[in-house]
Structure 1
Amino acid sequence: MHKICTDIVIETPINEVWDLLTDFDKFETWNPFITKIKGKLELGSKLDVHLRPPGTKGIDMTPVITKLESGNEFRWIGNLWVKGIFDGEHAFRLEELENGRTRLIQCERFKGILAPLILYIVGEKTRAGFEKMNTSLKNECEKRHRQGFTQCAPLA
């Protein structure tokens, strides 16, 4: 099994980070890596997701939410083409830190027959996409928090 993990500390309370991270309708306004998510944030829900690692045209996937702990974590499992070829379990986990800060941990575990080959080709671009998303989430939440919003809900 292969894994890519990144993390970042956000100077914003956990509930505000969760609010923005789970507002799928607004992803295209701030997220350079996951530019679209359509679907409900519910356990077992199927999502329509467009991922765009840097330097690629991107890919459409239809993962299913497999874990949901409101305010802390959600995961999905998706596959490329057919299950067992290239499967990924993507996780977003938030940890509450002292002084109103939050750590975002974004990981994906890959498995399947073509996982080593595909990750050899796009693994570094995928990691760069995670990091760009993390930084964009941090910047957007911190900006909104400084502006006095009590929630990190999208600006009108």
Structure 2
Amino acid sequence: MFERYIETAIDIMAPPERVWAILTDFAAYPSWNPYIVSAYGKPAAGAWLEVHIQRRGRRTMMFRPTVLVADVNRELRWRGRLLIPGMFNGEHFFRIEDRSGTVHFVHGQAFSGLLVGLIRGPLSATRAGFEAMNTALKERAERSGA
């Protein structure tokens, strides 16, 4: 079984409640999120989501992950897979770490499965997408508090 891991982070000058509210307002994603361009469903453990991602230079990809963790103001985590279990699985996570009035936002994904060893280039595009989303989230959270 192959595994790969991506983790990005950014500091946001906003309270955890504001960051969580923006992160879980899926209906607003098309207006600000350059990576997850739309999402449908509830941010609740056990719920199914429909998520559409847009990586630079590629067509939009849709998948239906299951929410694993929805710890209000702290963590949102889901797991999706392509094809059949064990071929290409991804556990996507967002952690909101409270730093007394600011947030250290951690955004990442753990990839596992037989096909992971064959994939190299798309992971750099995925990292760029995460970073673009982080920056957009920071701008939205800091602007909405002004």
Q: Shorter-chain TM-score category?
A: over 0.9
* Match status 1:70 vs 2:60: no
Structure-2 residue corresponding to 1:111:
112
Measure how far apart 1:74 and its partner are: 1.2
Measure the CA separation in 1 of the matches of 2:140 and 2:110.
27
Supply the AA of the counterpart residue of 1:17: V
Structure-2 residue corresponding to 1:51:
53
Q: Percent identity?
A: 38
Counting matched residue pairs gives 144
Measure the CA separation in 1 of the matches of 2:28 and 2:90.
24
Runs of 4+ in 1 over 6 A off after TM superposition: none
> Deviation digits for residues 27-72 of structure 1, max 9, x if unmatched?
1110000011101111100100001112211210000001121110
Structure-1 residue corresponding to 2:15:
13
SS of residue in 2 equivalent to 1:29: helix
Q: How does 1:32-47 map to 2 (within 5 A)?
A: 32-47=34-49
Structure with the higher fraction of residues in strand conformation: 2
Structure 1 residue runs without a partner (length 5+): 147-156
Structure-1 residue corresponding to 2:97:
95
Structure 2 residue runs without a partner (length 5+): none
Q: C-alpha root-mean-square deviation of aligned residues, in Å?
A: 0.8
Measure how far apart 1:144 and its partner are: 0.9
Structure-2 residue corresponding to 1:137:
137
- TM-score of the pair, normalised by structure 2: 0.96
- TM-score of the pair, normalised by structure 1: 0.90
